[in-house]
Amino acid sequence: MTMFQLEFMQRALIAGLLTGLSAPAIGTYLVQRRLSLMGDGIGHIAITGVALGLLTGTEPVFTAIIVSIAGATAIEFVRARGKASGDVALALLFYGGIAGGVLLIGLAGQGAATLNTYLFGSLTTVSSSDLYVVVGLAVTVLVIAIGLGPQLFAVCQDEEFARVTGLRVQLLNLLIAVMAAVTVTVAMRTVGLLLVSALMVVPVATAQQVTRSFRSTFVTACAIGVTACLAGIITSYNANVAPGATIVVLALAGFVVAATVGTLLRRRAGRSAPLDDEEPEVGVPGPAPHVVSAGHPHAHGEECSHKKVDHGDHVDYVHDGHLHARHGDHWDEH
């Protein structure tokens, strides 16, 4: 019996495939608006959600999604209104999330082992009801991330411009935050809450090494995410280690390879096509012609009677209505 015939492995692979697609998809928008760590923050907050589910006996996926959407909305609100103290407010939310989670888990009387499966992912815990939720959520995220691509791109690229084209910027920002929260919950089972942000950011960073356009970055990042997730799950089964860590280590290895290849490609492209001089210099006078004073027997200096004039980095001497400057062993007309 191969691992692909095991039902829990089939579920884990389907969940992994969808996580590998949706995390980099939303991650591309987060990286573009320079909010790479937002996924991390939401992951921390989701820990409280999972703990709340365990404490109240509710399905942890549902409580996690509700708490992380609330947290993501709070982060977006703080970001939009808070300005300077935004990062501090985010940090407070992160710490609150993880501390709240650990406290609630303690109250629920469940040990570190249960929490660990949510923190770092686990192959065997994806139940069939989990799988339906994961598929539904991941498909919704992908449809929005691709269908509203041009609008989301504009908002992440230049928020002010997006507002003046009449886009509902606040609504779209909130949509990105909610999609990030949903993705965190989707990825919780395979990658785990502490490493989910890595799957949002690392494939995008990897893709960027070799891409030039937003669209190709998006597609390449999704392909890398899927590869890392599926390969990670299979390795995790064979080596009996936590899938989250395996997936992230594989994704990071991909980054190292891409960064090296990208550097080599750029270096080669730079050598074959040197930077062309496409900006003609306008209004800058060319260098003055170099005129050597013919037969100049006299050496100017501190002692001579000729008037000294500062001229940039050197001194000119006024000599019969000309300016003379020392240039090596002779005198130039300036």
Partner 1 sequence: MTPTVSTPIGAEPDTAAKAVQVTDLSVDLGGRLVLRGVDLQIRQGEVVAVLGTNGSGKSTLIKTIVGLLPAARGEVQLFGTPVPRFRAWKRIGYVPQRITAAGGVPATVYEVVSSGLLSRRRLFAPLGAAGKAAIEDALRVVDMADRRKDAVAELSGGQQQRVLIARALVSDPELLILDEPTAGVDLASQQIFADAIRERVQRGTTVVMVSHDLGPMDALIDRSVILRRGRIVYDGPPHASQTNAHVHHSHDARNDSGWLTS
Cβ contacts of residue 306 below 8 Å, gap of 6+?
A: 300, 317, 318, 319, 324
For the chain, helix, strand, coil in percent to 5 are 70, 5, 25
Of 36 and 125, CB closest to partner 1: 36
Q: Report the site for partner 1 in 34-53 (rule: CB under 8 A).
A: 34, 36
Half-sphere exposure of 205 (CA within 13 A, CB side): 19
> Is 316 in a helix, a strand, or coil?
strand
Total interface residues for partner 1 by CB under 8 A: 35
Verify binding: residue 160, partner 1, rule CB under 8 A: yes
> Is 333 in a helix, a strand, or coil?
strand
Of 152 and 191, CB closest to partner 1: 152
Verify binding: residue 204, partner 1, rule CB under 8 A: yes
Q: What is the DSSP letter of 241?
A: -
Of 2 and 213, CB closest to partner 1: 213
Q: Tell me how far, at minimum, the Cβ of 89 lies from partner 1, in Å.
A: 19
Q: Provide the β-strand partners of residue 315.
A: 310
Of 97 and 203, CB closest to partner 1: 203
Q: Report the site for partner 1 in 140-159 (rule: CB under 8 A).
A: 147-148, 150-151, 153-154, 156-158
Of 171 and 291, CB closest to partner 1: 171
- The single residue among 57, 109, 166, 287 that binds partner 1, judged by CB under 8 A, is 166
The owner of tokens 């690392």 is: 202
Name the token pair of 15. Answer: 């969940």
Verify binding: residue 287, partner 1, rule CB under 8 A: no
Verify binding: residue 32, partner 1, rule CB under 8 A: yes
- The single residue among 213, 240, 272, 305 that binds partner 1, judged by CB under 8 A, is 213
Verify binding: residue 263, partner 1, rule CB under 8 A: no
Verify binding: residue 28, partner 1, rule CB under 8 A: yes
- The single residue among 1, 112, 164, 288 that binds partner 1, judged by CB under 8 A, is 164
Of 87 and 158, CB closest to partner 1: 158
Verify binding: residue 280, partner 1, rule CB under 8 A: yes
Report the chain's terminal Cα–Cα distance, integer Å: 92
Q: Report the site for partner 1 in 96-135 (rule: CB under 8 A).
A: none
**DSSP characters over 250-315:** HHHHHHHHHHHHHHHHHHHHHHHSPPP--S---SPPPPPP-EEPSS--PPP-SSSSSPEEEETTEE
In angstroms, the CA 201 to CA 29 distance is: 10
Quick one: CA dihedral 82, 88, 90, 96, positive or negative?
Answer: negative
Verify binding: residue 33, partner 1, rule CB under 8 A: yes
Binding site for partner 1 (CB under 8 A): 28, 31-34, 36, 147-148, 150-151, 153-154, 156-158, 160-167, 204, 208, 211-215, 217, 279-280, 282-283
